[in-house]
Structure 1
């Protein structure tokens, strides 16, 4: 039926991978200052930033429209610098039954690679693949890199 899918993008960054990982784990609320054209706010609703089970409300712009997503931090692998967020409310769940975003940072010496993976299950065959969300991830990565490369 083709209702389940996975999209992945890898982007090399010049800033250190630890900085990128730490930003999404412990300081996602700073993203509104770093990427104001894309992230409008990230507010903590339950738990504490960076803890499994914490719930954040993201307000962001996708294809020129303001949207929101409430997400739970489902998994952390500090050794692999991996974070997995599961959508539990928001615009995205009007199109997808299940939706998770995984951010993985791989550092090898001076080389740092960010991998974004979006796993989803469409509500119907007519639902689009979340390509615009992948583009948003690429743009976020570029702006974070530019901010920290200063």
Structure 2
């Protein structure tokens, strides 16, 4: 339904520490393409810098890597250091053709030597016929697993 805010979420256990994982998305996003090059092709700062709340970045990515759909996503980052939470508030880009609001969030909680990652996408459809962002949620999950594997190797 258009005009209704919806939330999708899941949790995934990671081997990397919550602090390591949080630091990648909160202050070293330029490292993400190294960890998951088949999904993320590049990240550029448009306003601010790599580590400041409110900075704006442009992500170049491929959603549904088998079909090779290249897209861009311009976001304004929201950081909550105390809770190790990073949110990317959609400003422009391909997803904004379908959703009035689009906000993926990573929340990391320490668990043993690793952590528990809560992945959330909050969104509001522009029209009733727009499907839920399942492909973006799947991409977010795969990206999380790739970054975790990269951090464990590093």
Shorter-chain TM band: over 0.9
1:9–1:134 Cα contact (<8 Å) kept: no
d(CA) in 2 for partners of 1:79 and 1:108? 16
Residues 5-53 of structure 1 show CA distances to partners (whole Å, capped at 9, x for unaligned) of 1111211001111111000011101111110000000000000112111
* 5+ residue gaps, structure 2: none
Residues 56-92 of structure 1 show CA distances to partners (whole Å, capped at 9, x for unaligned) of 000001122000000001x221111011111100000
**TM-score normalized by the length of structure 2:** 0.92
**TM-score normalized by the length of structure 1:** 0.94
**Structure 1 residue corresponding to 2:84, chosen from 75, 81, 85:** 81
Aligned to 2:28: 27
2:71–2:94 Cα contact (<8 Å) kept: yes
**Structure 2 residue corresponding to 1:127, chosen from 116, 125, 130:** 130
**Structure 2 residue corresponding to 1:71, chosen from 75, 93, 96:** 75
CA RMSD of aligned residues (A): 1.2
Aligned to 1:38: 39
* 5+ residue gaps, structure 1: none
d(CA) in 2 for partners of 1:55 and 1:76? 12
Q: Which runs of 4+ in 1 moved over 6 A?
A: none
Shift in Å, 1:141: 1.2
d(CA) in 1 for partners of 2:46 and 2:52? 12
Aligned pair count reads 149
